[in-house]
């Protein structure tokens, strides 16, 4: 998938020719981003554009908004990398950035979300058609769609907490780090969210 981040890296290639960073670790990749190496931005997009779009899709419920949030997050990561250090875990850090971008996107999606909730199964069919050109990283099976609809019944704070904790498999500590809240808050939000999702999904 070609992303804004890919295009940025291609327009401004790293000095000394193209770099192949595919074999480096996430920690090394973040170090390359801190050093301002453009090839690191392209590698970041290659590794994480799809997963970030999936997280954004589950949080926002909109394929196009999810792609926008993912691309914005990758470019924001490029800008913010210089403020990280060796102890910063790349994936939770990225998830915190995309969570912030999703919160901004939600300001423009309120009306659309209400229409989707009211439309029910008709919305499901419409979303399947609308998502045909969405990111390859977003799965379009029935289980994802059911989970997406159920997640949209949660408020913003509970939804992103449960996505990071269970859908992405972050620890309580990493989820708290990503969202910049205490671990106890994450535990409470996830407990409440899971209970509501079980009721919504009938499982």
Q: What is the mean pLDDT of residues 44-64?
A: 93
Tens-digit pLDDT profile for residues 73-100: 999 999 999 999 999 999 999 999 999 9
The whole-number pLDDT of residue 202 equals 78
- Rounded to whole angstroms, the Cα distance separating 39 from 9 reads 6
The whole-number pLDDT of residue 66 equals 93
pLDDT at 192 over 90: yes
- Closest to 89 in 3D by CA, of 190, 185, 6, 171: 171
Tens-digit pLDDT profile for residues 55-70: 999 999 888 999 999 9
The whole-number pLDDT of residue 11 equals 41
Domain count along the chain: 1
- Rounded to whole angstroms, the Cα distance separating 110 from 6 reads 30
- Domain that includes residue 35, residue range: 4-201
- Rounded to whole angstroms, the Cα distance separating 178 from 20 reads 28
């Amino acid at each position: 998938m070609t992303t804004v981040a890919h295009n940025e890296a291609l327009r401004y290639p790293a000095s000394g020719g193209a770099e192949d960073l595919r074999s480096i670790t996430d920690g090394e990749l973040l170090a390359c981003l801190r050093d301002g190496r453009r090839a690191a931005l392209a590698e970041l997009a290659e590794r994480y554009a799809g997963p970030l779009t999936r997280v954004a899709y589950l949080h926002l419920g909109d394929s196009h908004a999810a792609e926008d949030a993912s691309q914005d997050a990758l470019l924001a990561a490029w800008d913010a990398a210089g403020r990280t250090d060796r102890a910063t875990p790349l994936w939770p850090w990225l998830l915190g950035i995309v969570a912030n971008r999703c919160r901004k996107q939600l300001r423009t999606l309120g009306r659309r979300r209400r229409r989707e909730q009211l439309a029910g199964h008709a919305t499901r069919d419409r979303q399947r058609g609308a998502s045909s050109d969405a990111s390859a990283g977003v799965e379009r099976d029935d289980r994802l769609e059911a989970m997406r609809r159920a997640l949209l019944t949660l408020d913003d704070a509970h939804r992103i907490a449960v996505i990071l904790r269970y859908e992405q498999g972050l620890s309580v500590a990493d989820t708290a780090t990503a969202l910049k809240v205490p671990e106890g808050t994450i535990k409470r939000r996830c407990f409440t969210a899971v209970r509501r999702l079980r009721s919504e999904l009938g499982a």
